[in-house]
Amino acid sequence: PPYYVGYFVGSLSEQSINRALARALIRLAPQELELSEMVIKDLPLYNRDLDGHFPKVAVDYKAEIAKQDALLFVTPEYNRSIPGALKNAIDWASRPYGENVIARKATAVIGASPGAIGTAVAQQSLRSVLSFLNAPQMNAPEAYITARPGLITPEGEVTNPATEDFLRAYMVSFFEFIERVLTVVPGPAR
Ligand code: FNR
């Protein structure tokens, strides 16, 4: 440690409950984790015609991701899937072919929704994408946050102690997962 964790917020909304959730996770994370945002809102739509001459905003964005040890995805669910803005950002990070900066990063997925299933379907969809991009994922604990009004303040204060404990434990688990992923375990001699 410290381990550098880049976080993505899958919503562009000023009032995003997922941004509030991200702020809560930053507050509750073990001090060994240094979190910084991977900003997706200024990226244009990905177009493979730009491979090899990406705009500066995309070059800088990919360089930020490359510096991280781990990536945390905090995202809403849009129409039972990944919000377009987040998928676009992931597509930029994965290209040109052979220059996928998400590969081998320790990843975790979490999200909040006013709905009862708390982004579960979007998270499954995102997990498929991260699998394809060769990113090790924390499988458990899962975190599907049903965001009742006032559960998390815009500043990221969690008003329900049980939820606060859950989110703190989630970040401890992610810390331990990152440590395992970064630990080189020698394979059998061949
Ligand atoms: C939604 N919402 C939503 N919620 C959900 O649980 N499952 C879903 O499939 C969808 N689909 C969906 C599509 C679109 C286009 C919008 C704008 C919204 C509701 C969504 O959870 C709610 O707006 C959240 O507040 C969005 O998260 P942020 O932006 O507050 O972080």
- The confidence score (pLDDT) of residue 176 equals 98
Give the predicted TM-score (pTM) of the model.
Answer: 0.97
Query: Does the C-beta of 114 come closer than 6 Å to ligand 1?
Result: yes
Each residue's pLDDT tens digit, 25-72: 999 999 999 999 999 999 999 999 999 999 999 999 999 999 999 999
- The confidence score (pLDDT) of residue 190 equals 55
CB 15 within 8 A of CB 149: no
pLDDT-flagged residues of the chain (< 70) = 184-187, 189-190
Pocket probe mutation, ligand 1, options 78, 110, 119, 123, max atoms within 8 Å of Cβ: 78
In this predicted complex, what is the ipTM?
0.99
- The confidence score (pLDDT) of residue 1 equals 86
Q: What are phi and psi of 156, to 5 degrees?
A: 90, 25
- Tell how far the Cα of 79 is from the centroid of ligand 1, in angstroms: 7
**Longest Cα separation, the chain:** 57
- The confidence score (pLDDT) of residue 172 equals 98
Tokens 């781990």 correspond to what residue? 70
Determine the Cα angle at 13 with ends 136 and 15, to 5°: 110
Per residue, the 3-state secondary structure of the chain, as one string, reads CCEEEEEEECCCCCCCHHHHHHHHHHHHCCCCEEEEECCCCCCCCCCHHHCCCCCHHHHHHHHHHHCCCEEEEECCCECCECCHHHHHHHHHHCCCCCCCCCCCCEEEEEEEECCCCCCHHHHHHHHHHHHHCCCCECCCCCCEEECCCCCECCCCCECCHHHHHHHHHHHHHHHHHHHHHHCCCCCCCC
- Tell how far the Cα of 18 is from the centroid of ligand 1, in angstroms: 10
Query: Does the C-beta of 75 come closer than 6 Å to ligand 1?
Result: no
User: Other C-beta atoms within 10 Å of 54: how many?
Assistant: 19
Give bridge partners of residue 152 from the DSSP assignment: 158
